[in-house]
Amino acid sequence: MRARTGCFQCVLDDVIGGAKLEADTPEQRERVKVAVLDYLNGHFDLEREPSEFITGVHRILKQVLAKEMPFKALRDKCNTIGVSLSKRVEAETEGLPERERFQMRLRWSIAGNELDFRTVGAGYEMTEDEIHARLSDSVAKPLAVDQTDAIYAICRNAKDVLFIPDNVGELAFDRVLVKEIRRSCQRITVPLRGGPITSDAVVADGDTCGIPSVADRVILAGPDTLGISWKEMSRDLREALATADVVIGKGQANYYVLTEHKDEIPGRVISLLRTKCDYVSGEFGLKGKVNVATVLK
């Protein structure tokens, strides 16, 4: 999916909000704003995916603030909560029949996207039980786009699966789903970013959330990009995309890229996400933030 005119303001608001959290002084916040506006005015293009611009402005944020990993406290808290809650989910779903267990773990993986601090912010003042209740409520509601039966059948017949995660926190729920998919496929590969950008999961987050214990391979996706980048992806990721018979992408940033490049991917392509804006929800004829499990190809 390519950028829309409204993406300009959304990208700007996103990074300015980040600067309010991470900048030490008003002068730093102003420097971020000036640099970001200069970048967007020179680079914003409706022929490119929105994630490219979010990557660009958050790289500016890191540079101006001289912080290699902004939002570290929030990132760590997301992972702590996610790991704890995902263990409860794994135990609660273990005794379900196979198809139901798969679908419930998939729904929890999508619901886990609500742990994205870029969109929920002060939600982390809630207790673990309150967050569990909130996510449970999300799981209990019907998916706005529900192709889980088709996804189950595709995964049951898969040999080589590439599972592309999204954020910290939800990565722990992804571990449970990756473990479930691995019950039937021959190999599953998980790419993680090599550098931090906003709330996206990096290799160290994979270790924290237990991804190496359930995946056959953990590879480097590329540098500090929001979602995977078609331009900046690693050689390992490019090879994995070319050889996997099923590619599963989590989150809106990966949805942008997979919808634009799905015809260049030989295997089946699946997207699991909670939409963050009406532009993406509109792709499905919907409005508001909704949970989606769809087969793109």
Tens of pLDDT along 49-67?
999 999 999 999 999 999 9
Question: For 138-193, what is the HEC assignment?
Answer: HHHCCCCEECHHHHHHHHHCCCEEEEECCECCHHHHHHHHHHHHHCCCCEEEEEEE
Predicted confidence at residue 6, as pLDDT, reads 95
Identify which of 201, 34, 20, 195 has the alpha carbon closest to the alpha carbon of residue 121. Answer: 20
Residues of the chain falling short of pLDDT 70? 118-126
pTM (predicted TM-score): 0.96
β-bridge pairing 160-164 and 246-250: parallel
Using CA atoms, how far apart are residues 212 and 192, in angstroms rounded to an integer?
11
Using CA atoms, how far apart are residues 113 and 274, in angstroms rounded to an integer?
6
Q: pLDDT tens digits, residue range 222-270?
A: 999 999 999 999 999 999 999 999 999 999 999 999 999 999 999 999 9
- H or E stretch at 56: helix 50-65
Helix 98-111, helix 148-156: angle, nearest 10 = 120
Predicted confidence at residue 167, as pLDDT, reads 95
CB 108 within 8 A of CB 176: yes
Cα dihedral 141, 143, 144, 146, rounded to 10, equals: -150
